Amino acid sequence: PVLKVIMGRKEKKNFSLHQGYIQSLSNEDMDFKTVLAPQYLTTSQMIFFAYVPQNASMETRKNQIFYPHHVGRTLQLNSYGNADIKKIMYHEDLVGFPSSALATLSDPFALVSHSSKKHRYSSQFKNSDTHKTVVIPGYSSFLILEILNNTSVLALATMPVKVYTGMTFPSKSWFLYHFGTTNDSSTWSITTSSCKHVIVHDDVNTSTNIVKYLDLGSAFKFKIKVLSDMPYKIRVRTTPFLKILIGHVFLMDVTTYAYWDETDSYVVEMEIVNRYLSKGITTISFIIWQATADCLTSAIIMTLKSSCSYTKYMSILPKYKLSLEDWESGQYRDEHGFNIIKTLPNNYRPPSELGKDIPTTNNFYNADPSRPKLRNYHPQSKKTGIYKQCLNKTSREDCNCTTEQKMSQNVAFSDCTEKVVRFMYPVIQYPLFLKIKSEDSLIPMEAPYLVTISEVNERKNWKLNQKMTAETAKMREYLEKSISDTVYNPKDLNLSITGSELYHFRVKVIPGVTFCKLVTEFQIYVDNAPLPFPGRLLIASIAAVILGGIILAVFMVELFDIHIWLLLKNLVVRKNKVASSRSSFDVED
């Protein structure tokens, strides 16, 4: 239906509605553009109906309707005003308007004014009013199709259900807009919307792609904020700016808390906890659904990997911090003036259970293929000992040991190890401080990160002590059923060594508490130790035999009343008499 609009005669710029019909519509060439009829829904929302003549060809109709790709763009009036397109709608039963666009008003559109110097209070329709739209807040808008006379036009209603015949609207209660064409050019255009949203987050580097590794039991807190440049009057605070999508929802526990802060920005705080012993990858996408193509960042994708981070490792905190210069010089004295750096001899191997001079380990320290192997006399020692980095080399220089390898305490680089930390005998209750380094944090190790400790060269004479709680004792008893080595709680762990020379320890975290293979090694050289077995026992035995013999001799002298001093005196006097007689004999001759 087409409505006949009649301009009021008694009151300037008043008009009333009378329903009528039109038999035919003029065919106007839109040149890939169409006439738009605005319809207000609220003070900030509008619908633009795209007009298509009934007799338009299919080829022409294609260029006179809205398409989904218009969503997110800005509809701009050449004179002034713009609105952001949010949704495209299609209508089958609405005559003349097969499509429409729902838009949010950013800047009010300019009105059409009939006043001029010559006709200041003109209350008549003009021929130039064709394809302009009469907008009545609260009622249907009317697109003017044809000027019948100065006071009457034919118009098409955008919302026929909101049309009430016989009503009269006073002046200043309706407005006239022009979203048509002028001199074969459109008065409006659709452009790319300017960016009105900025997304920021509290990560070190504000990146659109974030990768985080979460180990078993690890937690990660993330905060993201969306800053909006939209006018406050059209902002809907009940609608979140962000759309959050999670890929693998059952891999980790995700808790979110969203709110509007004091700056009227939309904030989402998220806590992610990896509670399950399951490796995998999930993504969390933060999408600004109102973002436009002009925005540098419209979405941030965070990739969460339930696995071990490449930067996570375990280490032991040494008692003394040694610089590279101290290590290379081999001189660093403690508070007692004792040099704690020991330079190992070439081709050194630590003692074994068979004795100090009978090494049986395969690990060489400070290897030099050009020199003889130290303590390589026993048949068992000759059968063992294998070079690693120096294998098939003729000299130490050919081993190509780097500074890092020389300072490393890993058994894989034992060929390159030149110096170790030295302690005075005995080592009693030496505290072991184990730490886990993950990204920028240093975490003291404690349960559930239980560990096993072994000596690389299978040496004995060492012992670990710790205060065991009831819970740790139960866990230790349970784990030792499936793990052959003794399990320890790394907290308050102390080491005692009663042997001598080099001890090389390896610390490993038990499986099932982390995705990482956390392993670290440390070396201790015990110096100034007493003689090893059996030297100390032999010396003690000989001393005991001698002392026992002396006591026995004294006892026998007293028992048989032997005057040993008189016998010694008589023996001396007798020797003197013999010497005197020989002297007399020589004189007589």
pLDDT of residue 520: 95
Read off the pLDDT of each residue in 185-196 and give the average, rounded to a whole number: 81
* 484: phi then psi, degrees, rounded to nearest 5: -70, -35
- Pick the range with the lowest mean pLDDT from 176-185, 234-243, 442-451, 469-478: 234-243
Instruction: Answer left, alpha or beta for residue 407, where phi above 0 means left and psi between -120 and 50 means alpha.
Output: alpha
Q: Are 435 and 386 in contact (CB under 8 A)?
A: no
- Say if residue 181's pLDDT is above 70: yes
Task: Identify the residue with better confidence: 118 or 260.
Answer: 260
Structure tokens at 588: 């007589």
pLDDT in tens, 138-152: 899 999 998 888 888
Judged against a pLDDT cut of 90, whether residue 421 lies above it is answered with yes
pLDDT of 578 higher than 50: yes
Residues 6+ apart with CB under 8 A from 292: 72, 73, 74, 84, 192, 193, 194, 195, 196, 298
302-337 burial, b if ≥16 CB within 10 A, otherwise e?
Answer: bebbbbbbeebbbbbeeeeeeeeebbeeeebeeeee
Instruction: Please say if the pLDDT value at position 327 is more than 50.
Output: yes
User: What pLDDT does 182 receive?
Assistant: 74
Where residue 477 falls (left for φ over 0; alpha for ψ -120 to 50; beta otherwise) is alpha
Place of tokens 């118009």: 155
Model pLDDT, residue 535: 66
User: Using CA atoms, how far apart are residues 486 and 462, in angstroms rounded to an integer?
Assistant: 14
Average pLDDT over residues 353-371: 92
pLDDT band for position 166 (cuts 50, 70, 90): confident
Give 482 or 5, the one with higher predicted confidence: 482
- What are the structure tokens assigned to 64, written together? 């006179």
Cα–Cα dist 129/118, whole Å:
18
Q: How confident is the model at residue 49 (pLDDT cuts 50, 70, 90)?
A: very high
Q: What percent of the chain has pLDDT over 90?
A: 39
- pLDDT tier at 391, thresholds 50, 70, 90: very high
Give the containing element (helix H, strand E) for 103. strand 99-107
pLDDT score recorded for residue 27: 34
Give the span between the Cα atoms of 224 and 419, in whole angstroms.
50
CB 432 within 8 A of CB 494: yes
270 contacts: CB under 8 Å, gap ≥ 6: 221, 222, 223, 224, 254, 255, 256, 257, 284
Q: What is the pLDDT of residue 149?
A: 87
Q: What is the pLDDT of residue 408?
A: 92
Query: From the CB of residue 567, how many other CB atoms can be counted at a distance below 10 Å?
Result: 10
pLDDT at 509 over 50: yes
Q: Three-state secondary structure along 346-402?
A: CCECCCECCECCCCCCCECECCCCCCCCCCCCCHHHHHCCECCCCCCCCCCHHHCCC
What is the model's pLDDT at position 472?
A: 77
**Distances, alpha carbon 67 to alpha carbons 64, 72, 195, in Å:** 10, 11, 21
Distance separating the N- and C-terminal Cα atoms of the chain:
179
Q: pLDDT tens digits, residue range 455-499?
A: 999 998 899 988 777 877 788 788 877 788 888 889 889 999 988
Calpha distance 467→473 (Å, rounded): 10
Residue 587 has pLDDT above 70, yes or no: no
Specify the higher pLDDT residue, 16 or 306.
Answer: 306
Domain covering 197-306: architecture: Sandwich (2.60)
- Is the pLDDT reported for residue 572 higher than 80? no
Average pLDDT over residues 19-35: 44
Do 455 and 462 touch, CB atoms closer than 8 A? yes
**How is the chain split into domains, by residue range?**
2-192, 197-306, 316-527, 557-589
Candidate ranges 112-116, 384-388, 584-588; pick with highest mean pLDDT: 384-388
Q: Distance between CA atoms of 224 and 385, rounded to whole angstroms?
A: 58
pLDDT at position 119 is: 43
The answer to whether residues 419 and 332 touch, using CB atoms and an 8 Å cutoff, is no
Is the pLDDT at 533 greater than 90? The verdict is no
Contact 500, 532 (CB under 8 A): yes
Asked if the peptide bond before residue 426 counts as cis, ω within 30 degrees of 0, the response is: yes
For residue 580, the model assigns a pLDDT of 58
pLDDT digits (tens, 9 = 90+) for 36-47: 999 999 888 999
Which tokens is 530 given?
């007493």
What pLDDT is attached to residue 25? 31
At 524, is the pLDDT very low, low, confident or very high (cuts 50, 70, 90)? very high
The Cα 373–Cα 367 span in angstroms is 9
Question: Residue 327 corresponds to which tokens in the numbers above?
Answer: 């290590």
Residue 455 has which token pair? 């000596």
Distances, alpha carbon 87 to alpha carbons 10, 103, 487, in Å? 42, 7, 64
What whole-number distance in Å separates Cα of residue 176 and Cα of residue 291? Answer: 31
Confidence of residue 8 (pLDDT cuts 50, 70, 90): low
Rounded Cα gap, residues 107 and 81, in angstroms: 5
Averaged pLDDT of the chain: 83
The model carries a pTM of 0.65
**pLDDT attached to residue 102:** 94
The closest alpha carbon to 477, from 450, 439, 453, belongs to 450
